[in-house]
Chains A and B, each alone.
Chain A
């Protein structure tokens, strides 16, 4: 087979992998919607038509774009915060013991009751919404970083100690790298949580945004429109996760290599 043919076949296989199950699920949805005729469960074709009407318009710029910007800002902030805090807490059992109950407390507070407090502290503008996103998606990053840092191989830690590698170098070459598989798991979790919290943050003190629009559709009983918004959220999640996968592949290059290597692939 020619090289081009091989690439095309690979692309085809990949497309099949990506689309097969969603296609099946949409078919199922169709069947369910057709049999239930429920007002709240429109058929996928109706949603598709609505999707085009609603989102192929200036709305995508006016509502979706600022939301996505806030989402990314919140995610980035949470990543920095989660990794920094997680590294500190993971490296020191004392600090962990000291902070854990308080952090666990905050982790269990639902955003809808946290938001009023944030409004009080940060106002009602973008800052508050970014904070809401941070407040929700920092946790998986933090927890995974803590666990990843705790699990640093003791032999490697001793190696660093014996060569007196400490401080920033140790952090960069030992701690963060060896915890990176778990940190990546946390970041991947956080990405979709960030989307969810983007919606939640816009349920409060908003007048525009993707989440706001969806909630507004829901309140206005514009059900196909609401579903089209949810579909958009899903697509956004899919796109972000694909982008994230690229980053992960390069960051965890060694990790996947190591795994494949031992199996002799």
Chain B
């Protein structure tokens, strides 16, 4: 893997391909980049793409900061926090968005089958599992409760990895959980009940995650980054248009069971970051005290 050494090169059609490394998380949301790699969208632009998987922000942000990755995948909230803390992060393009279907989105709040909780408002006083605290999960779930007329301050959140959530819900270890695919399908099939589509409640076009790089990398090699952005956009468009292709590619880089792949709900993959939704998220984060102010959009988005 590595390194900054490729930073000075410019991709040329027909020339030596430029090695580029991307850091992603091996989940449903990153299907487009795998599709793009497979379809040759990167190779066409003289980019020899290597995809490395990690477990999220802990590796991807420092990976980009150190020049180890030329770009990486992370959720919007993390990037907003990072930018707020002064990290020179730059968003290249959208990564995954809510599909906007109330009750059919790829992430949802679920409760055990026999739970007295009927809707988001009932969550007041409950313990809700989210994968990371002070992140998109608790922010959006609070919004769901608020919109449902409940008291968003009365809910307690606890951190739990997505893979552990179906079991925790089924065994009643938590009152509710915000789960994403493929664990959402798993939970629903083992009897959990869906009570809210928290992404849709925030914004039905909510941009959840994006691909990003760092300002120094972008400044050093703008042509390469442009080429990457183009390839990403093409990949997104391809994925958005071909959900079957998405399901097919999932079988190659994840280990989700084939039957489950058939049934899971997919996010949408618009190429453009929905600026409005990000602003909404930033405002919610300001309201929750995660950040003081939304970052300057023009600096943040390339």
Contact = CB atoms under 8 A, between A and B. Distances in A.
The short answer to whether A and B are in direct contact, CB under 8 Å, is: yes
Contacts of B135: 219
Contacts of A120: 164, 167, 171
Given A219-B57, A219-B58, A222-B85, A124 B134 contact: no
Nearest to A202: B159
B86 A205 contact: no
A218 B58 contact: yes
Interface string B79-94: 0011001110000000
Contact of B160 (A40, A124, A220, A223): A124
A119 B167 contact: yes
Contact of B85 (A119, A124, A220): A220
Interface in A199-242: 203-207, 212, 216, 218-223
Contact of A221 (B87, B171, B174): B87
A39 B86 contact: yes
A123 interface: yes
Contacts of A204: 159-161, 164
Given A40-B62, A124-B173, A221-B61, A207 B159 contact: yes
Listed residue (A205, A216, A220) with the most chain B CB atoms within 10 angstroms of its CB: A220
A119 B159 contact: no
Given A116-B163, A219-B78, A221-B85, A124 B133 contact: no
B132 interface: yes
B191 to A, nearest CB: 17
B81 A205 contact: no
A205 B129 CA distance: 8
Contacts of B73: none
Classify chain B's interface size: 20 to 34
Contact of B87 (A39, A123, A218): A39
A222 B65 CA distance: 15
Interface in B34-90: 57-58, 61-62, 65, 78, 81-82, 85-87
Interface string B1-43: 0000000000000000000000000000000000000000000
B263 interface: no
B133 A39 contact: no
A64 B82 CA distance: 25
B241 interface: no
A158 B158 CA distance: 57
B134 A221 contact: no
Interface residues of A, number: 20
A212 B157 CA distance: 13
A221 B85 CA distance: 6
Nearest to B55: A112
B275 interface: no
Nearest to B174: A124
A207 B87 CA distance: 26
Which of B58, B85, B129 counts the most chain A CB atoms within 10 A?
A: B85
Contacts of A212: 159
B156 interface: yes
A221 B81 contact: yes
Given A124-B158, A124-B174, A207-B158, A40 B132 contact: no
A123 B160 CA distance: 11
Interface string B161-184: 101100110010110000000000
A39 B158 contact: no
B26 to A, nearest CB: 15
A216 B156 CA distance: 16
A207 to B, nearest CB: 5
A152 to B, nearest CB: 44
A116 B164 contact: yes
A39 B168 CA distance: 37
A40 B82 CA distance: 12
Nearest to B130: A207
Given A207-B156, A207-B157, A219 B173 contact: no
B158 A220 contact: no
Nearest to B291: A220
Contacts of B161: 116, 204
Of all A-B residue pairs in the complex, the 3 with the closest CB atoms, nearest first, are A221-B85, A221-B82, A207-B158
Interface of A: 39-40, 116, 119-120, 123-124, 203-207, 212, 216, 218-223
20 contacts: A40-B62, A116-B161, A119-B164, A119-B173, A120-B171, A123-B173, A124-B168, A203-B159, A204-B160, A205-B158, A205-B159, A207-B156, A216-B133, A218-B58, A219-B81, A219-B132, A220-B81, A220-B134, A221-B85, A223-B85
Interface of B: 57-58, 61-62, 65, 78, 81-82, 85-87, 129, 132-135, 156-161, 163-164, 167-168, 171, 173-174, 290
Given A205-B164, A221-B81, 7 more contacts: A39-B86, A116-B164, A204-B159, A205-B159, A206-B158, A206-B159, A219-B58
